[in-house]
Amino acid sequence: MKVAVAVALVLVAILAVMMMGMIMGGNADEAPMSPEGGDVREMGQVGYMVGQFAPSFTVTTISGEAVSLSDFRGKYVAVWFMVPQGCPICVSQARELKKLQMDLGDRLVVIAITLLDYKGVEEDLRSFMESNGLPKWLYAVDRMGLGVKYNIIEMGVVLVDPSGRIIYRGIPSASYEDMSSAIRSA
């Protein structure tokens, strides 16, 4: 009995360490940088809250392209956690993001990520994009724990400013007005 309890405690400790690693950032090659050039993980400024630097990540899009958050430094990035089918909130959210895209043009990158991973999910993402007349945004399936890093259970928008700092979180959805206000205030 004592051995089972000890093994369980060790497993819980290992799981806690792994979760902290997922929350605090990606690999060392992709360390988020402060505007002054320092690794913000060392400064304790990376997290999922407004005002913190966004956790780094690299995803593979449904077209096979590897993209990293750091690839878009100097632009606003909407990291949109969405459900590709049967989600009226996601359809509405797509319209709000399209309005923001019209305002910002190429100064905004939208990365649409589904936390659901099932057979046919990539095709569902393509179908969602086409049926809603969406631009050629980046679409990916979360296979790396981004929902944990960004504290998203299913849906939401995290808006990252050109320096990599989170300026807005809309959970489970975000309005055009709120996102625009966050950008004006940044």
Per-residue pLDDT reduced to its tens digit, 143-180: 999 999 999 998 999 999 999 999 999 999 899 999 99
Instruction: Report the pLDDT averaged over residues 120-144.
Output: 93
Domain limits for position 6: 2-185
Point out which residues pair with 53 in neighbouring strands: 46, 165
Taking the C-alpha atoms of residue 72 and residue 26, their distance in angstroms, rounded to an integer, is 16
Q: For residue 82, report the phi and psi dihedrals to the nearest 5 degrees.
A: -140, 170
Q: What is the structure's pLDDT at 10?
A: 33
Q: What is the 3-state secondary structure (H, E, C) of the chain?
A: CHHHHHHHHHHHHHHHHHHHHHHHCCCHHHCCECCCCCEHHHHCCECCCCCCECCCCEEEECCCCEEEHHHHCCCEEEEEECCCCCCHHHHHHHHHHHHHHHHHHHHEEEEEEECCCCCCHHHHHHHHHHHCCCCCCEEEECCCCHHHHCCCCCCEEEEECCCCEEEEEECCCCCHHHHHHHHHHC
Q: Worst-scoring range by mean pLDDT, 31-35, 52-56, 141-145?
A: 31-35
Domain count, the chain: 1
Distances (CA, A) of 138 to 35, 122, 129, 179: 25, 12, 10, 19
Taking the C-alpha atoms of residue 82 and residue 87, their distance in angstroms, rounded to an integer, is 8
Q: Up-side HSE of residue 154: CA atoms within 13 Å toward CB?
A: 8
Q: What is the structure's pLDDT at 142?
A: 94
Q: List all residues 6 or more positions away from 52 whose beta carbon is below 8 Å from its beta carbon.
A: 45, 46, 165, 166
Q: What is the CATH number of the domain that holds 83?
A: 3.40.30.10
Residue bearing the bigger pLDDT, 28 or 104: 104
